[in-house]
Structure 1
Amino acid sequence: MKPAALLFDMDGVIVDNHQFHLKAWMEFSKRHGFHLDEVEYKKHINGRTISATMAHFFPDEKNPNVIQALGAEKEEIYRELYAPHQKPTPGLIDFLSRAMDAGIAVGVGSSAPPDNIAFTLDGLDLRKYFSAIVNGSEVSVGKPAPEVYLKLAEKLGAKAEDSIVLEDALSGIEAGKNAGAKVIGLATTHPAHEIIHSDLVINDFNGLTVDKLTSLFK
């Protein structure tokens, strides 16, 4: 059967921006006096909400206003770094057009804050392709919990088990699985061999067809 909906993560999927988030976190860690490397980034940060990651690095900070300000600082660093380089993942726009022509509902379910989602979707004129958005501030429990994708499927009028999640992060792939959806993993942040528990692994959207989506449900 054809999928009822496509549930897109944003960072590492709509845009291949892993290295810019990593650079932003490295700069942020220097400013605040803690060590961070790529292994720890992938384990504790990628795919998770900004509040969850700040709680990891600042476990003694209980003031939500301070946590929010720290998160805003990091995201401002990221946007400044990535703005001159921002572009959609190869093949994305053609793939989105084919999905829309096939009558498949399409939405974004991201752990990113609203400012980052606007930065990407409006900066690249992509918002017109997505019928619904759920951001990190709208969920009580972030990935790998399935809440973001369950809420997005509901907004799109679809069942998660009839949908496909498109993810790059290990926590996001797990969230898609926990939601009962099929999962396509993009080998952007992690190499393909680390995300083979996805139902399908791709490097980008070139060559991804509606027929390949349909085949996941056979």
Structure 2
Amino acid sequence: MSVAKEKQYQKEFAPHLKLIDGLAELLNTYHKQGIKMAIGSAAIMFNIDFVLDGLQIRHYFDAIVSADDVVRSKPDPETYLKCATLLSIAPAECLVFEDAPKGVDAALNANMDCVVLTTMHNKDEFNQRNIISFHKDFTDFAM
């Protein structure tokens, strides 16, 4: 039943699937600069595949860590620490883009700085000390 539910969700959501404003430019810029990028998500891989393939952005990412790959979910740092390991980058050298307080907590617990996208939550819902900036989308992110 769970797989059937996810398939129905994907079918209904597919026409609305789009990148957050400015994300295509950011991904392209970072990719050209050789910056390693990973996805660290609490979603299952089935749904991550739907988004990456539907938006044709899989090639930008050097590593993907899903809910299927961890024992403990966010705010535990396991997801982000696995990303850092797969990228061969020290956690303190990573920058996390997050849209949820638990994700920002996970970044803090992994010793990573965070840029917060206020797409799902308001700025006042975040009080973590690892936040370096807030943005409504990627168009106002200084690259």
The letter for the 2-side match of 1:140 is V
TM-score by length of 1: 0.61
Q: Give the Cα separation in 1 of the matches to 2:31 and 2:66.
A: 22
Supply the distance in 1 between the matched residues of 2:132 and 2:140 (Cα, whole angstroms). 16
Task: Flag the 1:175–1:164 CA change in 2: closer, same or farther, 3 A.
Answer: same
2:120 aligned partner: 189
SS of the aligned residue for 2:37 comes to strand
SS at structure 1 position matched to 2:79: helix
Number of the residue aligned with 1:164 = 95
Q: Which runs of 5+ in 1 are unaligned?
A: 1-68, 211-218
Alpha-carbon distance in 2 for matches of 1:200, 1:101: 23
CA distance in 1, matches of 2:98, 2:11: 24
Percent pairwise identity: 37
Helix, strand or coil at the partner of 1:105: coil
Which amino acid letter does the alignment assign opposite residue 128 of structure 1? H
Q: How many residues align?
A: 141
Q: Distance in 2 between matches of 1:181 and 1:94?
A: 23
Whole-Å Cα distance in 2 between the matches of residues 74 and 113 of structure 1?
A: 13
1:111 to partner: Cα distance:
1.0
- Structure 1 counterpart of 2:92, which letter? E
Q: Is the 8 A contact 1:164 1:183 kept in 2?
A: yes
TM-score by length of 2: 0.91
Kindly report the root-mean-square deviation, in angstroms, between the aligned alpha carbons of the 2 structures. 1.4
Aligned match of 2:139 in 206, 211, 218? 206
CA–CA distance in 2 between the matches of 1:78 and 1:168? 21
- Distance in 1, matches of 2:9 and 2:123, equals 25
* Structure 2: gaps of 5 or more residues: none
